[in-house]
Each structure stands twice: as structure tokens, then as C-alpha cells.
């Protein structure tokens, strides 16, 4: 039985008389992560109750593991040390365990203790059903973590064979900006409310220890202590603690663990002018805090046979915040400080769950190139034709800029036009390499992993939406539809086409993409090339997008952006409340059936009439849209198929209870083996999202 620790935890603990009960606490609970067939990572953070958090040194403690909840027989009983150097967090890899087995563990400091339960993965050859949930986006000030409580309640009611084995967390575990603690409750007539935790205190993030940084009026974490402060706050939530104490998590980051819509070590707070926001030191600080607070197995992670694991523990070099140099031929910025900040940790990896599941987790921030359309272009003289710097961007503009010097067969145009030629802009990316989301090295690893795995199903833990989600633009003579988000894969379509064509050409089947980030529920088919004619597109995967745990919904963003005086397009997003209907999310209809359908409903408020105006060419691969939602995803994987659910909870703004917020609706899907085109339409129970009735 090996119990190697990480960092300071390797220091032998001295044997002393235990302090009195109540000396220590575990304010962020316990957690486990990255289950293998014979091992799992255990985690906690310890605090001294009678002193400020920064006023005590090394603390000896023990980790104990048992095969039962009573701890009658200890499988592991080992000393550890929590030190100031890791913010008194400890992480330990427990090895020599039995596969597909529940274990109970606890950390003991003096006479104080706290524990949880975890579970190992099944052996790679085991023909067993695998049950996973996936989550993302838990803005602390935007809502309670009722989705985690609902996960617990729902799992208690499941048959033993269907109970969750692990949670896949796709990022935005924290948000790097300090919100004011208020939340616009759109289901209560736009009333601003103050959230209150179970202890009666306001649910708000306290001021950053360093006071943070400020750009464009946004206050954000600037130091490692600031980021630790965020993790301490977010992980203090009892519902999140309960979920982390019950299940092992498999985690990657998205953007907010570092900074909103980031790429490499670049931030994007100021969109008003072409200015670099190079934050190499912040990137190092963010990575350090993530590694301290999130239990992962990186160095030694393993993976698909014959494919070298590239995951590596946090190990930083000193950096300074230096201007970027031009990206290289692979669209990575070789500037030494950027390279060192990005290279301080590598988190992409794959995990095996029995014969049928290869879980492939990617990092879609560290190696991606800049957004295709420079933000300052969208807010300058052309601001009137743009909706937002990275949302609702013209499709021809994004595609041409993303293709860079490869556009038009290697002869990129000097200008790009859209809106029927009414707007013409210079091609600012004509000399640039094609955009990338994964970067050269990770992309090669992804291809090798997908091809090399002999698992029946390849589940891709993918942070940002992979499918095209198009907003139809009418009235133009050329193709000038808009993409929902340039920060998602729609902004990096060149590489998406390459990866999806690779799946098709290499005959890699049974790929299911699990996504988050967008704060909405979506489901649909992923085509090999969304820019090809519809009759030529081939489905190569299926995608399931779960809504955020607590973050403001996608619908609420577009609703707020179309309030007066910017209300010309408001009817396409929502039909305003009436005495009998508080909200109609017409945005769903817009994405599923097009502008004419949504416009017709806004005008006549009759759904059958609106559906007669539907355009089947808008997003024909998109089978489900629930843009005003919070919740989680759940799936069961067997040899013959995948059964999945996207669960939408009642909006988590009311006082939390152990009963959970309750389920508003559940959308169920089935995906048959070897047939991504056979993915079922949504079978919805509960209150159906508009326009489903």
C-alpha cells in the first residue's frame, strides 16, 4: 500500500499528544479525485480554529482509509503534514486499492476529524455499466449550489446499478471577479435580490486580500492569495462540500479559474482598444491555487496504451508580465514568460472506466490562439453592427479570420464583407496561422488517444460548446448568419473541422462530447464540417451540454442586452411578461427554428403559427435548447448505448434546504452504438422549455 503525497505533504509528521477537540477544523471539507482502478487522490484543507488563517505553521495530521463507514479496519493509516506553503491543503495518492469499490476516508488532526466516501474505477476489461454526472459554472454570488444538493437527492433515489460513480467538472469552479452579491431574478420580474446563505450571512465574496486588480471597472484576483481566497469561499458551500465528500471528481479548468475568456496567459477585460493584457504572473498564481485546491492526478496519470501521458504537476518558473511576441507557426506565443506560465502545469489527460468508457479531458485555454475577431474591432466605429465583442459575431468574418493565411486555399482575401456587402472590413488575420483551440501538442495527443483507445465509448470532457450554434441573419444577400459565441468552438472552426474529419476518416466511432460553459442546456449531433452543404454533412459524434450549477443563464445575458434602449431585437429573445405568463424564452425558438419563426411568435404570440414559419436549415443538428437554466448532466454508459439526462433545477435563488431546489424538467436522450445520427430527440418530463409543449 503506497501513499505518496504531493509537495509539503511528504514531510514526516512528528508524533505528539493530540490537542483538545475543537482545535482544528476543515473549513473546505474533504474531496477525492481522478479515480483509477487501484488508486484515488484524497484532499482536504485544515485550519486552526483559535487563530487567523495565516498565523500558524505546519500541522501534523493523518489520513485513514477503510472499506466500511465505521472504520473498524483501517486499510491506510499514514501521517501527513499540512504547511503554509500549500495554504494548509493536503493531497495524497492512495494506491493498492481494489477496482470498482467504495472506500471511506477521513483526515485526523488531534482529536478533530472529517471524512468522506470515494470510489475506484473498474478495471479496463470489466464489462460494466458506468454512471457519470457532469457539471460546470458555479458563480458563488449568482446563485446557491442547489444543483449539487439535487444531485445528492436524486442519487439517493436511484437503483444501485444506476448510482453515480464520479463527477466530471468541466471548469469555472471559481470566478475570478468579485461580484456585488446581488442577482437579477428574471423569474421574479427583474427584481434585484440579495442571496443569503444557510447561516444567514450574505452570499458574497469578500474583498480580495491584495485588493485585487482593476481594469475596465472590473475587480479581479491578482495574487495567489487572492485566488486562494476565492477557493476558500466557493468551497465553503455545504452542498458542494457534500458532493465532493460523496464522489470523486475528475476536473479541468475553463476560463474563470484564471480570467474570463482567456487564451494562454492573456486576459480580455478591456475590449475597447487593441491593448495586450498579458498576465503571466496571474496565470502562475491561478494555476498554483487550482492545483492546491483541486484533487487531480497529473504526473503519473497514465492513459491509453501506447500514448504517452503529458500531464504534469504544478512546478513553476519565475515569470514577469511581459508583452507578447508574435505567435509562431502553430499559433502559440513563444515569448519566454508566456511559455513558462503556460508550461508550469499540464492538465489534459484520459481516464479509463471499465471496458466501455475512455474519459478524455482537454485543456481549451492554455494553448488556444487569440479569438478570431479582435475585440476592439467590434466596439469601435463598427460597434453598431456588432452585438458584443465575442457573441453573435458574423459567421463569414469569424471563419475567414480564423482560417488566417489558409483561407481561400492559401490565398486569403484582403477584405471580408457581411450584411449583404454593407460592411467591409480589412482581413486582419490574412498573415496569421489558422486558429487553434488545443494547440499542436495537445491536438496530436487527442488524436492518438481517440484512435488508440479500445474503449467502446470515448467521452470527451470538452469545456466549450463544440456544435455550431447559429443565429440566423435575414435580409442580406450573402451568407451573413451569426455564431452564438466566438469563444466556443464556433470561433475555431478550422481546427474543429480537422478534428471531426479525423474521426470520420479514421472511423473512430461512439464519441460523446460532454460540455459546459455556455450556461444553457443543448443537445445535438456534431457534423464533420458545419460549413459544407447540408446534404454533405456527416454526423461523427453527439454532444450534450449541461447548464451551469448557479451562473446566470445564457438567456439572461441576451435578455439584459436587449433591454431599452437596445431593444430593437428584444422580441427575438423574449416576449415580455403578461399577467398570466412571466417569461417566454423566444431565444430557444430562434436557435431551433430561425428568425422568421421567432419574429412571428413575437408578433402574434401563437406558437402553431410561428412554427409554420420555421426554417429547417438553421441548426438542423441541434435537437434541444434550454437557454434559461441551471442544473447538471447525468449519463449511463453500457456496451450497447448511452442514456443521458440534462436536468434543469428550479432557479437556485431561494434559501437552500436539504431537500434541494427541486427539478423543473428533465430532458432524456439515447445514443445507440455506432450511430451518432440515431441520437433520439429529447423526451422531456416536467415543465417543457419553450417552444416544446
612-661: pLDDT as tens digits: 999 999 999 999 999 999 999 999 999 999 999 999 999 999 889 999 99
Output 250 or 385, whichever has higher pLDDT. 250
Which of these ranges, 175-184, 359-368, 436-445, 649-658, has the smallest mean pLDDT? 175-184
Which whole number is the average pLDDT over 289-310? 97
* Cis omega (within 30 of 0) for bond into 691: yes
Contact 36, 120 (CB under 8 A): yes
* Full domain range(s) for residue 72: 1-119
> What is the pLDDT at residue 655?
87
* Cis omega (within 30 of 0) for bond into 565: yes
> What is the pLDDT at residue 304?
98
Confidence bin at 16 (pLDDT 50/70/90) = low
Q: Which residues contact 369 (CB under 8 A, 6 or more apart)?
A: 263, 327, 331, 332, 433, 435, 436, 492
> What is the pLDDT at residue 329?
97
* pTM exceeds 0.85, yes or no: yes
Pairing state between β 166-169 and 130-135: parallel
DSSP state of 161: G
Confidence bin at 6 (pLDDT 50/70/90) = very low
Give, for 210, the enclosing helix (H) or strand (E): none
Would you say residue 343 has pLDDT above 70? yes
Share of the chain above pLDDT 70, in %: 94
Q: Which range, 78-87, 385-394, 418-427, is most confident? A: 78-87
The total domain count for the chain is 1
Residue 613 lies inside a defined structural domain of this protein: no
CA–CA gap between residue 668 and residue 56 (Å, rounded) = 51
Phi, psi of 157 (to 5 degrees): -90, -10
DSSP state of 9: G
Would you say residue 476 has pLDDT above 60? no
Residue 632 lies inside a defined structural domain of this protein: no
CA–CA gap between residue 228 and residue 58 (Å, rounded) = 18
Share of the chain above pLDDT 90, in %: 85
Residue 44 lies inside a defined structural domain of this protein: yes
| Strand ranges inside 84-210, DSSP E | 89-94, 102-109, 112-119, 130-135, 166-169, 182-185, 191-194
Inter-CA distances, 67 with 106, 116, 121, 131, 549, Å: 12, 12, 15, 21, 31
Residue 675 lies inside a defined structural domain of this protein: no
CA–CA gap between residue 443 and residue 420 (Å, rounded) = 36
> What is the pLDDT at residue 5?
37
Residue 38 lies inside a defined structural domain of this protein: yes
DSSP state of 122: P
Indicate which CATH number applies to the domain containing 107.
Answer: 2.60.40.380
Residue 144, classed as helix, strand or coil, is coil
Phi, psi of 184 (to 5 degrees): -75, 115
CA–CA gap between residue 53 and residue 58 (Å, rounded) = 12
Which whole number is the average pLDDT over 105-128? 98
Q: Which residue is listed with cell 492569495?
A: 225
CA atoms within 13 A on the CB side of 348: 27
pLDDT, one tens digit per residue, over 258-274 is: 999 999 999 999 988 77
Residue 4 lies inside a defined structural domain of this protein: yes
Would you say residue 288 has pLDDT above 60? yes
Confidence bin at 600 (pLDDT 50/70/90) = very high
Residue 220 lies inside a defined structural domain of this protein: no
Amino acid at each position: 500500500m503506497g501513499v505518496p503525497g504531493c509537495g509539503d505533504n511528504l514531510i514526516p509528521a512528528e508524533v505528539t499528544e493530540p490537542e483538545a477537540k475543537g482545535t482544528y477544523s476543515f473549513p473546505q471539507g474533504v474531496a477525492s479525485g481522478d479515480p483509477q482502478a487501484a488508486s484515488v487522490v484524497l484532499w482536504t484543507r485544515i485550519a486552526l480554529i483559535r487563530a487567523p488563517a495565516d498565523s500558524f505553521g505546519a500541522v501534523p495530521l493523518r489520513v485513514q482509509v477503510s472499506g466500511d463507514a465505521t472504520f473498524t479496519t483501517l486499510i491506510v493509516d499514514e501521517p501527513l503534514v499540512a504547511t503554509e506553503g500549500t495554504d494548509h491543503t493536503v493531497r495524497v495518492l492512495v494506491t493498492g486499492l481494489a477496482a470498482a469499490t467504495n472506500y471511506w476516508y477521513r483526515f485526523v488532526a488531534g482529536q478533530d476529524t472529517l471524512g468522506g466516501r470515494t470510489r475506484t474505477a473498474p478495471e479496463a476489461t470489466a464489462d460494466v455499466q458506468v454512471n457519470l454526472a457532469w457539471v460546470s459554472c458555479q458563480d458563488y454570488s449568482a446563485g446557491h449550489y442547489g444543483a449539487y444538493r439535487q444531485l445528492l437527492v436524486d442519487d439517493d433515489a436511484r437503483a444501485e446499478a444506476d448510482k453515480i460513480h464520479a463527477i466530471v467538472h468541466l471548469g469555472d469552479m471559481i470566478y475570478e471577479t468579485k461580484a456585488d452579491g446581488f442577482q437579477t431574478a428574471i423569474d421574479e420580474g427583474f427584481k434585484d435580490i440579495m442571496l443569503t446563505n444557510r447561516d444567514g450571512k450574505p452570499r458574497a465574496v469578500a474583498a480580495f486580500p491584495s485588493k485585487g486588480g482593476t481594469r475596465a471597472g472590473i475587480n479581479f484576483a491578482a495574487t495567489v492569495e487572492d485566488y486562494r481566497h476565492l477557493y476558500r469561499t466557493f468551497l465553503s458551500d455545504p452542498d458542494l462540500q457534500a458532493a465532493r465528500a460523496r464522489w470523486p471528481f475528475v476536473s479541468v479548468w475553463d476560463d474563470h479559474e484564471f480570467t474570463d475568456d482567456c487564451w494562454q496567459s492573456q486576459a480580455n477585460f478591456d475590449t475597447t482598444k487593441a491593448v495586450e493584457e498579458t498576465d503571466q504572473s496571474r496565470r502562475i498564481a491561478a494555476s498554483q491555487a487550482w492545483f492546491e485546491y483541486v484533487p487531480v492526478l497529473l504526473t503519473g496519470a497514465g492513459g491509453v496504451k501506447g500514448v504517452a501521458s503529458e500531464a504534469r504537476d504544478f512546478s513553476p518558473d519565475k515569470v514577469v508580465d511581459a508583452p507578447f511576441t508574435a505567435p509562431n507557426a502553430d499559433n502559440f506565443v513563444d515569448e519566454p514568460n508566456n511559455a513558462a506560465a503556460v508550461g508550469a502545469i499540464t492538465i489534459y489527460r484520459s481516464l479509463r472506466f471499465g471496458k466501455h468508457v475512455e474519459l478524455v479531458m482537454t485543456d481549451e485555454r492554455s494553448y488556444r490562439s487569440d479569438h478570431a475577431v479582435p475585440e476592439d474591432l467590434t466596439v469601435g466605429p463598427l460597434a453598431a453592427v456588432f452585438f458584443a465583442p465575442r457573441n453573435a459575431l458574423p459567421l463569414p468574418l469569424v471563419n475567414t479570420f480564423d482560417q488566417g493565411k489558409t483561407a481561400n486555399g492559401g490565398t486569403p482575401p484582403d477584405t471580408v464583407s457581411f450584411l449583404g456587402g454593407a460592411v467591409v472590413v480589412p482581413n486582419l488575420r490574412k498573415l496569421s496561422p489558422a486558429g487553434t483551440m488545443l494547440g499542436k501538442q495537445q491536438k496530436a495527443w487527442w488524436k492518438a488517444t481517440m484512435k488508440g483507445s479500445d474503449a467502446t465509448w470515448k467521452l470527451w470532457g470538452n469545456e466549450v460548446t463544440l456544435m455550431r450554434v447559429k443565429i440566423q441573419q435575414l435580409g442580406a444577400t450573402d451568407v451573413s448568419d451569426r455564431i452564438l459565441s466566438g469563444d466556443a468552438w464556433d470561433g475555431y472552426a478550422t481546427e474543429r473541422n480537422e478534428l471531426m474529419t479525423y474521426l470520420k476518416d479514421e472511423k473512430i466511432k461512439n464519441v460523446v462530447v460532454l460540455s459546459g460553459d455556455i450556461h444553457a442546456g443543448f443537445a445535438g449531433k456534431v457534423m464533420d464540417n458545419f460549413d459544407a452543404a447540408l446534404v454533405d454533412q456527416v454526423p461523427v459524434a453527439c454532444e450534450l451540454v449541461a447548464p451551469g450549477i448557479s451562473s446566470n443563464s445564457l438567456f439572461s445575458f441576451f435578455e439584459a442586452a436587449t433591454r431599452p434602449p437596445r431593444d430593437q431585437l428584444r422580441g427575438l429573445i423574449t416576449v415580455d411578461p403578461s399577467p398570466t405568463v412571466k417569461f417566454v424564452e423566444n431565444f430557444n425558438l430562434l436557435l431551433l427554428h430561425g428568425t422568421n419563426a421567432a419574429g412571428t411568435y413575437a408578433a402574434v404570440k401563437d406558437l402553431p403559427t410561428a412554427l409554420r414559419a420555421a426554417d429547417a436549415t438553421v441548426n438542423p443538428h441541434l435537437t434541444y435548447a434550454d437557454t434559461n437554466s441551471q442544473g447538471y448532466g447525468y449519463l449511463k454508459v453500457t456496451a450497447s448505448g448511452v442514456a443521458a439526462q440534462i436536468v434543469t433545477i428550479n432557479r437556485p435563488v431561494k434559501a437552500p434546504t436539504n431537500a434541494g431546489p427541486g427539478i423543473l424538467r428533465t430532458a432524456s436522450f439515447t445514443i445507440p452504438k455506432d450511430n451518432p445520427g440515431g441520437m433520439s430527440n429529447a423526451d422531456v418530463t416536467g415543465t417543457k422549455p419553450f417552444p416544446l409543449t
